[in-house]
Amino acid sequence: MTQFSLVSYWHLDASIEQVWDALIAVDDWPRWWRYVQAVVTLEKGDSDGLGSLRRYTWSSRLPYRLSFDMRTTALRRPERMEGVAAGDLKGTGRWTLRALGSASCVRYEWTVSVEKPWMTLLSPLLAPLYEWNHNQVMSEGGRGLARHLGVALLPLAQCSDMFDDAADRSGKR
């Protein structure tokens, strides 16, 4: 098992516009997201950032680092940001944001395969640990974003019905 389909949720007591502005400013992520070690812009893309290419370097709860390049392939303010990754991880990532009153629900879908030889080799044994690690990194991202925005991270239960998988995939919502 070298491919992973991982989904994470955040519920923030912030407007969808505030959350969008923080997420779209990926160069600032290392300031508030503990495990983001570096973001380097390789290509700027258009005026909105579509087509941009950045190299991300991540640490984690486990003793390894990952680096990958991510090209932004879709942007729809303030609801969706998507990209394609290549490097230590290969696949796609999609941020989807929904307003819930004055708060925001955030969903991140990360469908990737591990490309580092040692990770590929050990995936059959370590897959649960890789997933746990991803969840730890994403949880810290939610806490870091809440601190960055000066807002509360809210219980996820209220966000449970905000995302319809089929509608999110087709872009109809």
Assigned domain for 97 exists: yes
Assigned domain for 173 exists: no
Assigned domain for 135 exists: yes
Assigned domain for 105 exists: yes
Q: How remote is the C-alpha of 68 from its chain's centroid? A: 13
Count of domains in the chain?
1
pTM: 0.91
Q: What is the CATH number of the domain that holds 83?
A: 3.30.530.20
Domain span at residue 53 reads 3-168
Assigned domain for 111 exists: yes
Task: Please state the φ and ψ torsions of residue 136, each to the nearest 5 degrees.
Answer: -65, -45
Does pLDDT of 168 surpass 60?
Answer: no
Assigned domain for 96 exists: yes
Q: What is the pLDDT of residues 76-129, one digit of tens each?
A: 999 999 999 999 999 999 999 999 999 999 999 999 999 999 998 999 899 999
Asked if residues 83 and 96 have their Cβ atoms less than 8 Å apart, the reply is no
Please report the pLDDT score of residue 164 as a whole number.
Answer: 65
